[in-house]
């Protein structure tokens, strides 16, 4: 027992001295000074919210087509004896201009025969009138009153009258056929194609070519229901002088140059497309080869164009940078005097590449943050930096020159420069 105590005693004494020494050293060590300064905030870029006007618009595309287009076809048969020089692919034609003429000799002979038949029918009617008058007198001389219509020659007279009417109708029909030997243009237009030449035998209804009107062209523009609502267009819209349609700006490259034409929405389609769930809006451009052309460049049928339909103009809306929109309805506002982040719920009217347009949720002059922020929360510490028009960067808040330079160097780039906003 004595031997065990002799071994443990030195160990316990050394342990006591070591623990006591550590406690004594810690007790004599001075306490570190506490830093009362708040933690530095995240450096972010921001742009001011401004007030302005907004013209609601919808962008879509479509193919130009003529409003009026017909197949040129004869109503009678015969050999083609004339084709107008303008009746070629791309040619301009005028209303009433003869495009194709069919040989008329047979129809001219038919008119001669028809006129002869009319003369014979007139002579027969005159003879029947005379004989009917003689029969009436004979019956009066005989004192006969109760006689048959045949004795008074009434059926013979009616037959002669009918024969004359039939002969005259035949003459009119032959004259009409003769007039139809000339195929004329029903409107001013251009020739899309020609399928006939001199010497060819034409038959009724045969396609000799196609022409389309140059007075108006139209473009079918498919729109979604939300886009119709943005333009305030009902499903059964039809433009009128009292209720004109929205303005449409068409653009396309023609001849290697950008071209612009201005038209108008005239009506909406009759039904919703069952496959795309969209409805067609028909826009028109008047005189596309004349006054409606862009410096001589027409909006020709077959051209694929971009279209921007302009709706109503909203005044006094708030405009924030597009990069400041977070999700569908949130905006990050920097409070530079407080160095805090304010997360706002906003009512977005419309958004595009140029900005976010809203009715409420911010005030003109407030700074909308465009830099990405990870794990944001309301009241977060931030340092707001604003890029000025002259290219310099303004650091908001009470910062020294050194702190401002450090903030600029460590600032997060705006989301439109670095990526999508967080």
pLDDT above 70: residue 411: no
pLDDT-based confidence at residue 119 (cuts at 50, 70, 90) = very high
Q: Tell me how far apart the alpha carbons of residues 81 and 100 are, in angstroms, rounded to a whole number.
A: 8
**For position 410, what pLDDT does the model report?**
54
Q: With respect to residue 11, please indicate whether it lies within any of the assigned structural domains.
A: no
Q: Which residue has the higher pLDDT, 181 or 229?
A: 181
Q: With respect to residue 38, please indicate whether it lies within any of the assigned structural domains.
A: no
Tokens standing for residue 160: 């002669």
Residue 395 shares a structural domain with residue 301? no
Residue 392 shares a structural domain with residue 282? no
Q: Domain containing 185 — which CATH number?
A: 2.40.50.100
pLDDT-based confidence at residue 413 (cuts at 50, 70, 90) = low
Residue 357 in contact with residue 325, Cβ under 8 Å?
no
Distances (CA, A) of 14 to 4, 11, 88, 284: 16, 5, 119, 104
pLDDT in tens, 70-91: 999 999 999 999 999 999 999 9
Q: Which residue has the higher pLDDT, 234 or 414?
A: 234
Q: Which residue has the higher pLDDT, 96 or 24?
A: 96
Which one of 39-48, 240-249, 311-320 scores highest in mean pLDDT?
240-249
Q: With respect to residue 354, please indicate whether it lies within any of the assigned structural domains.
A: yes
Residue 82 shares a structural domain with residue 186? yes
Residue 197 shares a structural domain with residue 296? no
Weakest mean pLDDT among 33-47, 55-69, 383-397: 33-47
Q: Which residue has the higher pLDDT, 7 or 153?
A: 153
Distance of CA 198 to the CA centre of its chain: 44
Average pLDDT, the chain: 83
Residue 175 shares a structural domain with residue 195? no
Count of Cβ atoms closer than 10 Å to residue 141 Cβ: 8
Residue 158 shares a structural domain with residue 284? no
**Ramachandran sector of residue 96 (left: φ over 0; alpha: ψ -120 to 50; beta: rest):** left
pLDDT above 60: residue 408: no
pLDDT above 50: residue 376: yes
Residue 93 shares a structural domain with residue 185? yes
What sign does the CA torsion over 160, 161, 162, 165 have? positive
Residue 196 shares a structural domain with residue 287? no
**For position 343, what pLDDT does the model report?**
87
Q: Tell me how far apart the alpha carbons of residues 314 and 163 are, in angstroms, rounded to a whole number.
A: 76
Q: With respect to residue 304, please indicate whether it lies within any of the assigned structural domains.
A: yes
Q: With respect to residue 293, please indicate whether it lies within any of the assigned structural domains.
A: yes
pLDDT above 90: residue 42: no
Q: Tell me how far apart the alpha carbons of residues 405 and 79 are, in angstroms, rounded to a whole number.
A: 92
Residue 289 in contact with residue 309, Cβ under 8 Å?
no
pLDDT above 80: residue 324: yes
User: DSSP per residue over 27-95, as a string?
Assistant: HHSPPPPP--SPPPPEEEEEEE-EEEEEEEEEEEEEEEEES-EEEE--SS-EEEEEE-TT-STT-EE-T
Q: With respect to residue 95, please indicate whether it lies within any of the assigned structural domains.
A: yes
Residue 129 shares a structural domain with residue 192? no
Which one of 33-47, 126-140, 252-266, 316-330 scores highest in mean pLDDT?
252-266
Weakest mean pLDDT among 180-189, 193-202, 220-229, 377-386: 377-386
Residue 383 in contact with residue 44, Cβ under 8 Å?
yes
Last residue of a domain, one of 247, 279, 314: 314
Residue 142 shares a structural domain with residue 245? no
**For position 27, what pLDDT does the model report?**
60
Q: Tell me how far apart the alpha carbons of residues 214 and 223 are, in angstroms, rounded to a whole number.
A: 26
Last residue of a domain, one of 210, 228, 263: 210
**For position 4, what pLDDT does the model report?**
58
Q: Which residue has the higher pLDDT, 120 or 410?
A: 120
**Length of the chain measured in residues:** 422
| pTM, rounded to two decimals | 0.66
Tokens standing for residue 323: 């990069």
**Adjacent-strand bridge partners of 210:** 71, 193
Last residue of a domain, one of 129, 164, 179: 179
What is the β-pairing status of strands 42-48 and 382-387?
parallel
Q: With respect to residue 76, please indicate whether it lies within any of the assigned structural domains.
A: yes
pLDDT-based confidence at residue 262 (cuts at 50, 70, 90) = very high
* Domain ranges, residue 185: 71-103+181-210
Q: With respect to residue 220, please indicate whether it lies within any of the assigned structural domains.
A: yes
* Average pLDDT over every residue of 316-321: 86
Q: Tell me how far apart the alpha carbons of residues 317 and 295 are, in angstroms, rounded to a whole number.
A: 36
Q: How many domains does the chain have?
A: 4
Q: Domain containing 379 — which CATH number?
A: 2.40.420.20
Residue 352 shares a structural domain with residue 403? yes
Q: Which residue has the higher pLDDT, 341 or 217?
A: 217
pLDDT above 90: residue 300: yes
Count of Cβ atoms closer than 10 Å to residue 82 Cβ: 15
Strands (E), 234-275: 247-254, 257-272
Residue 239 shares a structural domain with residue 250? yes
């Amino acid at each position: 027992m004595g031997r065990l105590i002799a071994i443990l005693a030195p160990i316990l004494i050394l342990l006591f001295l070591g623990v006591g020494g550590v406690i004594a050293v810690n007790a004599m060590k001075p306490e570190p000074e506490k830093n009362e300064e708040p933690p530095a905030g995240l450096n972010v870029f921001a742009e001011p919210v401004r007030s302005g006007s907004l013209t609601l618009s919808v962008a879509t595309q479509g193919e130009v087509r003529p409003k009026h287009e017909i197949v040129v076809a004869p109503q009678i048969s015969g050999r083609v004896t004339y084709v107008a020089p303008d009746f070629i692919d791309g040619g301009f034609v005028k209303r009433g201009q003869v495009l194709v003429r069919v040989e008329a000799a047979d129809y001219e002979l038919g008119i001669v025969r028809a006129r002869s038949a009319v003369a014979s029918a007139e002579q027969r009617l005159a003879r029947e009138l005379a004989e009917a008058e003689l029969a009436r007198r004979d019956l009066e001389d005989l004192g006969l009153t109760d006689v048959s219509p045949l004795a008074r020659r009434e059926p013979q007279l009616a037959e002669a009258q009918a024969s004359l009417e039939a002969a005259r109708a035949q003459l009119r029909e032959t004259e009409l056929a003769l007039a139809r030997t000339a195929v004329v243009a029903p409107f001013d237009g251009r020739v899309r194609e020609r399928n006939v030449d001199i010497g060819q035998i034409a038959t009724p209804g045969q396609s000799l070519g196609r022409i389309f009107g140059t007075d108006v062209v139209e473009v079918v523009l498919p729109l979604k229901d939300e886009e119709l609502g943005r333009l305030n267009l009902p499903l059964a819209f039809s433009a009128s002088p009292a209720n004109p349609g929205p303005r449409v700006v068409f653009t396309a490259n023609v001849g290697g140059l950008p071209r612009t034409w201005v038209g108008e929405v005239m009506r909406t389609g009759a039904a919703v497309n069952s496959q795309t769930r969209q409805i067609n809006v028909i826009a028109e451009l008047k005189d596309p080869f004349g006054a409606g052309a862009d410096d001589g460049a027409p909006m020709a049928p077959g051209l694929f164009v971009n279209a921007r339909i302009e709706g109503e103009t909203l005044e006094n809306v708030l405009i924030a940078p597009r990069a400041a929109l977070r999700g569908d309805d949130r905006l990050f506002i920097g409070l530079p005097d407080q160095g805090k982040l304010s997360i706002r719920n906003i009512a977005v009217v419309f958004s595009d590449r140029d900005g976010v347009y809203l009715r409420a949720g911010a005030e003109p002059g407030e700074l909308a943050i465009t830099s990405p922020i990870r794990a944001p929360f309301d009241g977060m510490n931030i340092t707001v930096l604003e890029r000025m028009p002259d290219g310099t960067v303004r650091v908001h808040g009470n910062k020294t020159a050194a702190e401002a330079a450090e903030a600029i160097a460590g600032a997060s780039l705006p989301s439109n420069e670095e990526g999508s906003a967080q």
